[in-house]
A = this chain, B = another copy of it.
Amino acid sequence: MSYDFLWQIALILVSTKICGLITRRFQMPQVVGALLAGLLLGPAVFGLLPSDSEMIKQLAELGVIVIMFSAGMETDIRDLKNAGKSGFLVAMLGVLVPLLGGAGLAAWLAPTENMLQNFFIGTVLTATSVSITVEALREMGRLQSRVGNTILAAAIIDDILGIIALTIMTSLGGGGESIAVVLLKIVLFLVVCCFVYVVGLKALDWYIERAGRRDLRRFPIAAFVVCLMMAWIAEHFFGVADITGAFAAGLMIGATKKAGYIASKFEPVQYLFLAPVFFASIGMTVVLPAMNTQIVIFSVLLVVVAVLSKWLGCGAGAKMCGFTTRECNQIGLGMVCRGEVALIVANKGAEVGLMPDALFGPVIIMVIISTILTPILLKLAYRGEDDLQLEESPLENRSEALEQLDIVTDQLLTREQEIKEKNQKH
């Protein structure tokens, strides 16, 4: 066994944190710095880390699963239900506008062979990757708001609409499963989620009551098991993204009696280990392809269409639901990020001959730029809002309670250590 993963993880941790602290100094979310750190470490710039390490990839997958699981724990299912209707409209327009925009751009400029390939470029633009937005909103203390819940609801529905769009395209292209099977799977997955939510919640709460305060460690472990199994089941049996399964598991765990305690234990697992690996891995996989002038122009326009179509599409959906213009911008920009989902879609398209090889470069560039732009644009969309929520209403929500507790923990343990050392000197 090679021990190289030790310094690789150390390098990822130290560089994501340093870059994060630098971007924060410029009033930008730390997640921007973490993404840039990955880009610097990967083959695109310094090439310090291999882009094909299976270990890093799987840790990154665990990282995004834990991020979405935590987002689920912080979300109240009632808020999500209330956001469902507006989320549906936002997601619907957020899929249709990029689909048409991408297809139009491809028909105009790309070296595609038929209409189906043009529409496939549009399909690549439909998939929102919400994890970066979740992290940025959490840093700004805005995840648990009407806007935050609408983005979460829209992202889940977007995931499902994206699967449907991809299935229609690939079955038109002559490969993949039939649309009926895919729809059936999605419905079954929702049934499983409801079942797990209702029955799992009852069972866990019964177990928590019964076990009392003995061996508290069993609860975070049980929660992690539920999270991992739901993520795997979603991906393996239902063709839904693993992070959607993890989010559903988080919703359920977040409703149990030990939700706060469990969340406090997942926090260090996330920021100390898994989340930095995930953020860095996004930048690390970037290998810039050789390109000619036509492709460069197409890339630039693809980025513009990708950002504008999501922003305007989702923003228009939000406007119809009565959000203010400011909130519409926040929702629209929160949905801009594409992330790894677009790359997976592009790969599936290549398998059935819908994705010309020459267009992989532009898609990769679109993913990087939209991912790095999202937290920056979001920060701008929230500019001027009162960010001092923490001091005004301490313990207002769960993650702030955790932050307070963290500071108390630190003071308590530091004090205890000082006493111990004083005793030893005497």
B-contacting residues of A (Cβ < 8 Å)?
Answer: 1, 3-7, 9-10, 13-14, 17, 21, 54-55, 57-58, 61-62, 65, 213, 215-218, 220-222, 224-225, 228-229, 231-232, 235-236, 242, 257-261, 263-266, 268-269, 271-273, 276, 395, 398, 401-402, 405-407, 409-410, 412-414, 416-417, 420
Contact = CB atoms under 8 A, between A and B. Distances in A.
A1 B58 contact: yes
Contact of A401 (B54, B221, B268, B413): B413
A192 to B, nearest CB: 15
Contacts of A276: 221
A166 to B, nearest CB: 18
B1 A414 contact: no
Number of copies: 2
A6 B59 CA distance: 10
A272 B269 contact: yes
B413 A229 contact: no
Contact of A409 (B232, B264, B410): B264
A3 B395 CA distance: 38
A10 B229 contact: yes
Contacts of A217: 271-272
Contact of A407 (B4, B14, B213): B213
A266 B269 contact: no
The CB with the most chain B CB atoms within 10 A, among A58, A222, A401, is that of A58
A5 B225 contact: no
A221 B17 contact: yes
A232 B10 contact: yes
The CB with the most chain B CB atoms within 10 A, among A1, A225, A257, A271, is that of A225
B413 A260 contact: yes
B228 A410 contact: no
Contacts of A224: 10, 13, 272-273
